[in-house]
Structures are given as structure tokens and as C-alpha cells.
Chains A and B, each alone.
Chain A
Amino acid sequence: GENVEQHPSTLSVQEGDSAVIKCTYSDSASNYFPWYKQELGKGPQLIIDIRSNVGEKKDQRIAVTLNKTAKHFSLHITETQPEDSAVYFCAARKYNFNKFYFGSGTKLNVKP
């Protein structure tokens, strides 16, 4: 099956700085890569996703990049705010498969 690795496990940044979280995947057939944000006591919430035919996608302060050759994708958060503090998970899935493989999560702490 697929193996998704995520780094770093914890990330602390100053408010206003940028944060980058990286994931690698093992199965070259994976073609859809969502990112989820999980706040304490809540379920994961989809924040952005990218398909394998796209190299980069941006939504306001959040962007995701994908390098299919290297099999890695990254989440970039610019101008971080305290409310960005949460655990972020990357995930990967193959076309026509129904389950996602998740990374182990990154706890982001944005210090005011």
C-alpha cells in the first residue's frame, strides 16, 4: 500500500512568518493529495488539495506544491496567525481508490 511520511512533527513560528510542512509518498499511482487541519477536539477539516496534473495551487495565504518526480508535496502558509495553530495532516490517494493514507501530522504553533 501507500506510505506517507510527514515532516516536521512540530513547528513553531512567530506570527507573520511563513510555515512549510513537507510530505513524501511511496506509490507513484497516487494522484490526489489533500491537506487537513485538525483543531483540538475536532475532526480534520479539508483546507486545500492538489491533483497530480497540477504543480501548484494557492488559496489566499495557503498554497500547496507537488513534485511528482520526487514524490513529494508541501503545504505553505504565509503571514501566519495564531488561529493557524493546529495539527496539519497530509494525505494521498490513488485514482478510483476510496481510502486515503495520512501522514502522522505536524503540530503548528504560531506565537503571537
Chain B
Amino acid sequence: DTGVSQDPRHKITKRGQNVTFRCDPISEHNRLYWYRQTLGQGPEFLTYFQNEAQLEKSRLLSDRFSAERPKGSFSTLEIQRTEQGDSAMYLCASSPTTGPFYGYTFGSGTRLTVV
């Protein structure tokens, strides 16, 4: 198992363009999370999946953001009509369901720069 994989590692896009990021969690983890991290800040929760069901979304996730996990394996995060304020590191994490006390395993993130 190679851990949580995110692709691409870096993305530069022009304002107004759409971007899509992919996350492959640890295979036996059925919980998957997306967080956003801006410079000098801790990660902020965006959304959470258990298997293919999206169970929670943050108010940070505007209508321009959509996330999917179609078969309960990998997930995609799409941002439509990107704005400069969307520039951030987008982190994916996964965790098992067993037990209430567990931390996440994070991927290395996708750094988005909107110019």
C-alpha cells in the first residue's frame, strides 16, 4: 500500500477555468475527506465520504465546488469558474471506520494557483 495518492501535485490555472483533482485513498479505508489549507493556516474541512455517500459538506464548499466518489474508491474534487481566492493546497485524507479514535492518513496534496 502506497498511502493516499493525489494527482496532480501542482496545478496552475487561469481565473474562470475549471479544474479537477483526484484522490486515491488507502484501499481498505472507506472514509475519505477533503480539506483545504491556505498559507500559514491549518487544514479546513471541506467534505467527507463514507464509501460512495457524501455525508457532510462544509459551508466553505460553495456551489462552484463538487466532489464525487463514484464507486467508493477514488474521489474527485472539481472547482468550476476558479477564482484567485481558490488558490490553496487541497488535501485528501482517508481513515478506517473501526473505532472512534483514529487519525487520518493525508496525501501530499494538490497545490492550486489561480492566476
Contact = CB atoms under 8 A, between A and B. Distances in A.
Contact of B48 (A41, A98, A104, A105): A98
A96 B107 contact: no
B42 A104 contact: yes
B104 A100 contact: yes
A42 interface: yes
Range, interface on chain B: 20 to 34
B68 to A, nearest CB: 18
Contact of A43 (B4, B44, B48, B103): B4
Interface residues of A, number: 25
B105 A46 contact: yes
Contacts of A96: 100
Interface of A: 4, 6, 32, 34, 36, 41-46, 49, 51, 89, 91, 95-96, 98-105
